[in-house]
Amino acid sequence: MVYSALDIANKIICKSASEDCGELVSNLKLQKLLYYMQGFHLAYFDAPLFSEDIEAWFYGPVVPVVYNKYKRYGNRGIGKNGETPILLSDEQEDIFCDVMNVYGNYSAIGLMNLTHKESPWATTTIGNGNVISHEKMKRFFKTRLKK
């Protein structure tokens, strides 16, 4: 099943706002976590987690519809909005938790620096409307899966 990026973003926000996670996630960090969620999902399932494109912006990968919804927060943390997070399949939940456990520990700037060193963003022309292809992401993230 393919979800909306806003639903996945809400799930990330809820997870980061829970007691067992550190700080609230900023919009910049949220964008990078969405990129990692999508990349690992493409690599593992050969299908996207969410339907919206990820674009290569100056500060790294961005899902414009999610960026626009949360841009009013600037660099501040985004708190829960009262929406119940969606439930994924057991395998998808495992990937989601793995990504949060590894990449959720990075700062927004740390994640930005990581994405800038990775081929999907680095080989896509930077600018609004320039989509990072699923094929690039899948190929790259397959090299990051544990064998």
Task: Please provide residue 78's backbone torsions phi and psi, each rounded to the nearest 5 degrees.
Answer: -105, 120
Q: Which residues of the chain have pLDDT under 70?
A: 19-22, 147
- pLDDT for 21 equals 55
For 114, the token pair is: 């990581």
For residue range 69-104, what is the model confidence (pLDDT) as tens digits?
999 999 999 988 888 999 999 999 999 999 999 999
Using H for helix, E for strand and C for coil, what is the string for 101-144?
Answer: HHHCCCCHHHHHHHHHCCHHHHCCCCCCCCECCHHHHHHHHHCC
**Does residue 29 contact residue 105 with C-beta atoms inside 8 Å?**
no
